[in-house]
Amino acid sequence: MTCWQFRSDGFYELAIEVGSTDDAGLEAVLRAVWDAAGVQGCYGHGDREPEEQEAVPCTVASLEEFGHLRGRVRLPSGDLVVCGVMAVRGGDEISDDSDDDSSGDSGDWLDFYVPHGALDAVGAATSDGRPFYRSARIDDWLAGIGIEAFRKAPFGCAAVGWEVSGCIDAATPAGELPEKRGVGHLVPRDGVLHYGAAND
Query: For residue 73, what are the β-bridge partners?
Result: 81
Q: What is d(CA 133, CA 178) in angstroms, rounded to the nearest whole number?
A: 21
Among 45-54, 126-135, 144-153, 178-187, which is the least confidently predicted range? 126-135
Query: For residue 188, what are the β-bridge partners?
Result: 193
Looking at residue 99, its pLDDT comes to: 42
- Angle of helix 23-37 relative to helix 136-152, nearest 10 degrees, comes to 130
Looking at residue 127, its pLDDT comes to: 54
What's the average model confidence in pLDDT over 40-44?
Answer: 95
Question: Quick one: residue 84, left, alpha or beta (phi over 0 = left, psi -120 to 50 = alpha)?
Answer: beta
Cβ proximity of 10 and 131 under 8 Å: no
Sign of CA dihedral 160, 68, 56, 115: positive
Looking at residue 120, its pLDDT comes to: 81
Q: What is d(CA 186, CA 19) in angstroms, rounded to the nearest whole number?
A: 13
Q: What is the DSSP string of 54-86?
A: ----SSHHHHHHHSEEEEEEE-TTS-EEEEEEE
Average pLDDT, the chain: 83
Cβ proximity of 107 and 90 under 8 Å: yes
Of the chain, the percentage scoring pLDDT greater than 70 comes to: 80
What's the average model confidence in pLDDT over 173-179?
Answer: 74
Tally of helices (H runs) and strands (E runs) in the chain: 4, 9
Among 17-21, 58-62, 91-95, 173-177, which is the least confidently predicted range? 91-95
Tens digits of residue pLDDT in 72-92 = 999 999 999 999 999 988 755
pLDDT band at residue 117 under the 50/70/90 scheme = confident
What's the average model confidence in pLDDT over 52-56?
Answer: 92
Looking at residue 96, its pLDDT comes to: 43
Q: What is d(CA 99, CA 177) in angstroms, rounded to the nearest whole number?
A: 29
Looking at residue 128, its pLDDT comes to: 56
b/e 146-169 (16+ beta carbons within 10 angstroms → b):
bbbbbeebbbbbbbbbbbbbbebb
